[in-house]
């Protein structure tokens, strides 16, 4: 194969040449002419996830994650919910990391019990916690590559071993790492999920999701999605394909930039603590170093003063936009207590290690020195 390495796969994998077009056109047609298909799932229709824009992305994502197949979805949550609802039915039990993205956590802890699916939250770093909660009806185990917003890295290899030994389907949300920094299939995970809204598209102008894994699982998940309806629109698929072309360039820049910003913040007298797995002081630095090619573009930190200081900082920075979400070209700054984790009670947030004043920074592709100078002037003004 001419495209073995990720930068080349991002440009070439899955990309057909249609009518001589060098770049992938948008097939904005709801249906396609009947061509003798014998299965409902093969009829040409956007909801059935089989337009040329869908197919091109499925092949590209599979090549990036090193999986047999992949499926794109209308959002990260569409990919996550459809995948879990393919694996789990009433009477089944799921083990899930206790620090998951809020939307996923809400889905499994509030909606799944109503469907008869039992769940237990586990400390993904503590094997005794998984063993103690394993039941005869446990079907799957679900974790994230890096936790949000504390950027912790769980015992991912241990989770895979435990899943294999107990015949569980292992799932991982790889949104924060991306296939540039980490390819979970290579360490043995069964299914890899993404919010493509974040790094994969990278331009903060669509929502999207993806799941990658073996052909059999992806077929089953596709058929489930064909009925649940969480398909991606071809225009969004076009934008996602275009955004993906620069994924490796963006991620490498963001890896380097975020490490430098983390080091700058760690050395600043107004900053009490920085969470970034790329820092040698991070408790999971060695594990992250072993598993990942880079440490990603998100860090979080706490100021020495009160939570109000965080809001003052937001007024003084000029480059990062104060907005939720992450993973795009533009730096974004938020307070998880009032955005991603606003759904948790204050107690729950504290137990999860998320203080009121914790600040999360998603580093874009602006010049690193400009970002550091901007943070420096803002910190000077408020401290």
Active site residues: 47, 101, 173, 198
Please name every residue paired with 301 in a beta bridge, in sequence order, or none if there are none. Answer: 274, 359
Tokens 């790889």 locate to 174
Out of 27, 101, 142, 301, the only residue in the binding site for ligand PLP (CB under 6 A) is 101
Distances (CA, A) of 70 to 319, 330, 364, 365: 36, 28, 27, 28
The alpha helices in the chain, defined as continuous H runs, are 6-12, 52-65, 76-87, 102-106, 127-133, 156-165, 178-181, 184-187, 215-228, 234-244, 247-266, 285-291, 307-316, 346-351, 368-382
DSSP 8-state code for residue 24: P
Is residue 173 close enough to count as binding ligand PLP by CB under 6 A? yes
Pick between residue 83 and residue 138 the one whose CB is nearest to ligand PLP. 83
**Burial of 8 from C-beta contacts in 10 A (0-12 / 13-18 / 19+):** middle
Out of 49, 175, 275, 300, the only residue in the binding site for ligand PLP (CB under 6 A) is 175
Confirm if 101 and 219 have CB atoms less than 8 A apart: no
CA–CA gap between residue 337 and residue 281 (Å, rounded): 24
Confirm if 79 and 106 have CB atoms less than 8 A apart: no
Confirm if 341 and 150 have CB atoms less than 8 A apart: no
Cβ count near 30 (within 10 Å): 11
Pick between residue 25 and residue 343 the one whose CB is nearest to ligand PLP. 343
Pick between residue 102 and residue 161 the one whose CB is nearest to ligand PLP. 102
Out of 97, 148, 201, 309, the only residue in the binding site for ligand PLP (CB under 6 A) is 148
Out of 195, 241, 309, 334, the only residue in the binding site for ligand PLP (CB under 6 A) is 195
Out of 207, 313, 354, 371, the only residue in the binding site for ligand PLP (CB under 6 A) is 207
Tokens 């899955």 locate to 14
The nearest distance, CB 281 to ligand PLP, in angstroms, is: 24
The nearest distance, CB 167 to ligand PLP, in angstroms, is: 26
- Give the number of residues in contact with ligand PLP, rule: CB under 6 A: 15
Which residue is at the shortest CB distance from ligand PLP? 76
Strands 93-97 and 271-275: unpaired
Confirm if 94 and 135 have CB atoms less than 8 A apart: no
Is residue 77 close enough to count as binding ligand PLP by CB under 6 A? yes
Cβ count near 229 (within 10 Å): 10
Is residue 147 close enough to count as binding ligand PLP by CB under 6 A? no
Stretches 86-94, 169-177, 230-238, 350-358: which one binds ligand PLP (CB under 6 A)? Answer: 169-177
Out of 197, 241, 334, 362, the only residue in the binding site for ligand PLP (CB under 6 A) is 197
Distances (CA, A) of 197 to 57, 142, 206, 243: 14, 20, 6, 10
The nearest distance, CB 364 to ligand PLP, in angstroms, is: 16
The nearest distance, CB 36 to ligand PLP, in angstroms, is: 36
CA–CA gap between residue 146 and residue 154 (Å, rounded): 7
Q: What are the tokens at 146? A: 């890096």
The nearest distance, CB 328 to ligand PLP, in angstroms, is: 12
Pick between residue 50 and residue 97 the one whose CB is nearest to ligand PLP. 97
Pick between residue 358 and residue 378 the one whose CB is nearest to ligand PLP. 358
CA–CA gap between residue 18 and residue 36 (Å, rounded): 21
The nearest distance, CB 94 to ligand PLP, in angstroms, is: 16
Stretches 24-32, 71-79, 283-291, 348-356: which one binds ligand PLP (CB under 6 A)? Answer: 71-79
Out of 103, 188, 293, 353, the only residue in the binding site for ligand PLP (CB under 6 A) is 103
Chain positions 236 to 295 lying near ligand PLP, rule: CB under 6 A, are none
Chain positions 313 to 372 lying near ligand PLP, rule: CB under 6 A, are 325
Confirm if 59 and 13 have CB atoms less than 8 A apart: yes
Stretches 112-120, 159-167, 170-178, 284-292: which one binds ligand PLP (CB under 6 A)? Answer: 170-178
Pick between residue 178 and residue 226 the one whose CB is nearest to ligand PLP. 178
Q: What are the tokens at 321? A: 């936009």
Is residue 209 close enough to count as binding ligand PLP by CB under 6 A? yes
Q: Which parts of this chain interact with ligand PLP (CB under 6 A)?
A: 75-77, 101, 103, 144, 148, 173, 175-176, 195, 197, 207, 209, 325
């Amino acid at each position: 194969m001419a495209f073995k390495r990720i930068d080349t796969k991002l440009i070439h994998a899955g990309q057909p040449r249609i009518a001589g077009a060098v770049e992938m056109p948008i097939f904005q047609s709801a249906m396609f002419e009947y061509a003798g298909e014998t299965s409902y799932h093969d009829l040409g229709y956007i909801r059935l996830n089989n337009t040329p824009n869908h197919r091109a992305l499925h092949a590209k994502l599979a090549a990036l994650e090193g999986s047999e197949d992949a499926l794109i979805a209308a959002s990260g949550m569409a990919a996550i919910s459809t995948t879990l609802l393919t694996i789990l039915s009433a009477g089944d039990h799921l083990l899930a990391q206790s620090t998951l993205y809020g939307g996923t956590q809400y889905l499994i802890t509030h909606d799944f019990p109503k469907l008869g699916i039992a769940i237990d939250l586990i400390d993904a770093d503590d094997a005794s916690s998984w063993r103690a909660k394993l039941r005869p009806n446990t079907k799957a185990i679900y974790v994230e590559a890096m936790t949000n917003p504390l950027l912790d890295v769980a015992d991912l290899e241990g989770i895979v071993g435990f899943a294999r030994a107990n015949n569980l389907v292992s799932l991982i949300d790889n949104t924060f790492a991306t296939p540039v920094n980490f390819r979970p299939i290579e360490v043995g995970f069964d299914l890899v999920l993404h919010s493509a809204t974040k790094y994969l598209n990278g331009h903060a102008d669509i929502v999207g999701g993806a799941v990658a894994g073996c052909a059999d699982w992806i077929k089953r998940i596709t058929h489930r999605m064909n009925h649940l309806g969480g398909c991606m629109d071809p225009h969004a698929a076009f934008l996602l394909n275009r955004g993906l072309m620069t994924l490796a360039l963006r991620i490498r820049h963001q890896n380097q930039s975020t490490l430098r910003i983390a080091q700058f913040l760690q050395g600043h007298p107004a900053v009490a603590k920085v969470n970034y797995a790329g820092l040698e002081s991070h408790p999971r630095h060695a594990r992250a170093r072993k598993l990942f090619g880079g440490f990603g573009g998100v860090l979080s930190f706490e100021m020495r003063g009160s939570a109000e200081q965080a809001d003052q900082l937001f007024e003084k920075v000029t480059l990062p936009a104060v907005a939720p979400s992450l993973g795009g070209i533009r730096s974004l700054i938020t307070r998880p207590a009032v955005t991603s984790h606003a759904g948790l009670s204050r107690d729950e947030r504290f137990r999860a290690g998320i203080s009121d004043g914790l600040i999360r920074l998603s580093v874009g592709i602006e010049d690193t020195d400009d970002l550091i100078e901007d943070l420096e002037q803002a910190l000077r003004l408020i401290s």
